[in-house]
Amino acid sequence: MAIFFNENSKEFHLQNSKISYIIKILKNNQLGQIYYGKRINHRNSFEHLFKIKRRVLTSCLYEGDLEYSLELIKQEYPSYGTSDYREPAFQIKQQNGSKVTNFQYKSHNIYEGKPKLEGLPAVYVEDNKEAETLEVVLEDELINSQLILYYTIFEDYPVIIRSAKFINNGQEDLTLLRAMSMCCDLPDSNFEMLQLSGAWARETYVKTRKLETGIQSISSTRGSSSTNHNPFIALKRTETNEYLGEVYGFSFVYSGNFLAQVEVDYDNVSRVTMGINPFDFSWTLKTGESFQTPEVVMVYSDKGLNDMSQIYHRLYRNRLARGKWRNERRPVLINSWEATYFNFNEEKIVNAAKASYDLGIELFVLDDGWFGKRDDDTTSLGDWYPDKRKLPNGIKGVAEKINAFGMKFGLWFEPEMISRESELYKKHPDWVMKTKGRNQCHGRNQYVLDFSNKEVVDYIYEAMSKILRDDKVSYVKWDCNRNLSEIYSQAYPPERQGEIAHRYILGVYSLYERLIDEFPNVLFESCASGGGRFDPGMLYYAPQAWASDDTDAVERLKIQYGSSMVYPLSSIGSHVAASPNHQVGRTVPMHTRANAAYFGTFGYEVDLNTLTEKEKLEVKEDIKFYKQYSKLIHDGLFYRLRSPFEGDGNIVSWMVVSEDKNEALLAIYNILLKPNDGYYRILLKGLNPQFKYSISGCDDIFFGDELMNVGFIFDQDFLKNTPNERMGDFMSRVFVIKSTGSHRIKVSRAK
């Protein structure tokens, strides 16, 4: 790992064993992009790679020079208005109304480690030798302002992490209208853009489209990253698949409004920008003030999509998630919601917890309905004190009873929301996010608290910390069940209303940080009606997220498959739910529900009273299996084998392999039974070609190279979990693969 500076040719080369990233100081003292991709040798000059020629109808910077136009140059962090007509990385409005700027190279600094971003989530280092950072300082002398570009490269990860900081040293106020976290001009457009899109109950569906001339983008204006588009895109070569070919990944470590955009110009240069959505955004910088953008994690791989995903998994699992629960096995939990909804009392909860404990479940989570006078979804959000009608001994009383038989206790909160029918609303109607004189939208009969207002955040912190401090709560499910609308804060003047959406999410981050600091042993799970805020920003505070409110095992195959493009299995909240399913009404065998939920955090969301004795025995066995293999599932290398988004999607398969390749789990899901069907063949991945392996349910021993090149061959009947299991739709099986220890087979040769 190294960051080189070629002083004579004014070039920076960020390099490790896998990638190179080369930029240069241009003739006009701005920054240009030379190369980003597979590692190349360092040399004293890369001038021969920089090309420019005269073109018709271009605007040029210098009198008499008809070649030097920024429109023709791949740039690193471009502005608008001085010969480049593509969309810029930033835009600053000055008091004279101009948006033209000229930030030129002033200095740079190269150092070990990686800086923290104040008030923002960010990838971190535990040892400064893990990474090196380049800071490039650019200055606009006319407005006396600085722009600092940050680049971090890791030794062990083929990633570049980028962000930007704006500093106003001048006497006049400046207004940021656009402040993207990164820009990268790639030399061609022979790519397909992959995105993770959907809606409530069908999040993170994998979508691809070929790049075309013009702008293609995904975004959110909902105040959160949203269920509609995850803040991630990948550009893959048209021939790239899961295991072969070149791919660039761009993942935004942020939880609010975002824009991920690719603009293809007439020369087929692809400009990738990612950052806070400039729609309805502005930020006033007074003298001495600064603005730091969130960061983008850029991953390059020449080994296909699955390798890109494994890079994100390792980095986010080990250097984005934090705290006690980063590497610990998460407790197997049961959530009360689908079993009781709002209809419960202390006796019912304690009895349900005891029945759960007897099956091997370790954590009971009391969901919505425990606070204020919350009998339905019309009241009490904001009143974070126990409803003594349901819980006469409070949260402490029910928690102590559940703790007494050796079980942990968890609690649901929705701290960012308020009900009109609540004590908090009566006291502080001014704390609601709303525009004066305008109609207020609501969702789920609730309104949004103004988290841009520190007074609001302080109040919610005190209310939540009192519960956590006094009441033996070891897990918090943090929900957020509606998007922002009528974005306006009474705590800020009119000219700063463009800051509110960003200030809101900074308020959410600050509340998380304060609670984590005080309660480091509490396991936080983020949720926003499922995957409405499932993003890297949340992962920095909560090491797991509820991936979707859709708990149907068949639908979860798509949701979890798509989520795995970026997010480690240890972050994907997944539960075994009721059958027929409460969202889609589908009836799915218990073992298939478990076989899907294994590949995540694993838990239950079911009324145990509805289970047969046979099903309860299954639950016991499933929990035992998960506890045995949870470390492999969470820490192993994940391989996607058969996609639910390709072909007929009827066979879905993935596997997890231990780092030493001695152990693996292979999951196969058959959605619909086909009559008179033949054999299937799946090529396994990640095994040692020289190792011999046994597979549960098989009498044969296989070499790793056989399983990876010839494949695992099976028919539908082989997916039965027991000999007496009846064939039907939605069958699945998880196979345990183990190295047999002896890695040689004697071969006799004919003389």
Which residues form the catalytic set? 479, 549
Owner of token pair 């948006």: 99
Q: Report d(CA 415, CA 541) in Å as an integer.
A: 15
Ramachandran area for residue 244 (φ above 0: left; ψ -120 to 50: alpha; else beta):
beta
- List strand residue ranges (DSSP E) for 56-173, in order: 90-93, 104-112, 131-140, 145-154, 159-168
Q: What are the start-end ranges of the E strands in 658-706?
A: 663-670, 680-682, 692-695, 701-703
Could you give the CA distance from residue 166 to residue 92 in angstroms, rounded to a whole number?
A: 10
Sheet order of strands, 408-413 included? 572-573, 544-546, 523-526, 475-478, 408-413, 363-366, 333-335, 603-605, 575-577
Cβ-based neighbour number of residue 188 at 10 Å: 12
Tokens of 180: 């993207």
- What end-to-end distance do the CA atoms of the chain give, in Å? 54
Token duo for residue 204: 């993170």
Q: How far apart are CA 513 and CA 540, in angstroms?
A: 10
Q: Are 587 and 579 in contact (CB under 8 A)?
A: yes
Determine contact, residues 176/283, Cβ cutoff 8 Å: yes
Strands, E, within 331-446: which ranges? 333-335, 363-366, 408-413, 417-418
260: helix, coil or strand?
strand
Tokens describing residue 740? 């047999």
Torsion, Cα of 102, 105, 106, 109 (10° steps): 140
| Angstrom distance (rounded) from CA 674 to CA 3 | 57
**How far from 667 is each of 63, 405, 547, CA to CA, in Å?**
66, 34, 19
The CA radius of gyration of the chain, in Å to the nearest whole number, is 27
AA identity, residue 532: G
- The encoded tokens of residue 317 equal 């699992």
Helices vs strands, H then E, count in the chain: 12, 39
DSSP 285-321: E-TT-EEE---EEEEEESBHHHHHHHHHHHHHHHHTS
Angle, CA of 636, 641 and 644, to the nearest 5°: 120
Q: Are 194 and 327 in contact (CB under 8 A)?
A: no
Place of tokens 């704390």: 431
Instruction: Using the structure block, give the residue that is written with the tokens 């207020």.
Output: 440
Q: Give the bridge partners for 597, in sequence order.
A: none
- Cα dihedral 255, 548, 526, 194 sign: negative
Helix (H) or strand (E) holding 353: helix 346-358
Q: Rounded CA gap, 651 and 198, in Å?
A: 21
Which residue matches tokens 């033996």? 472
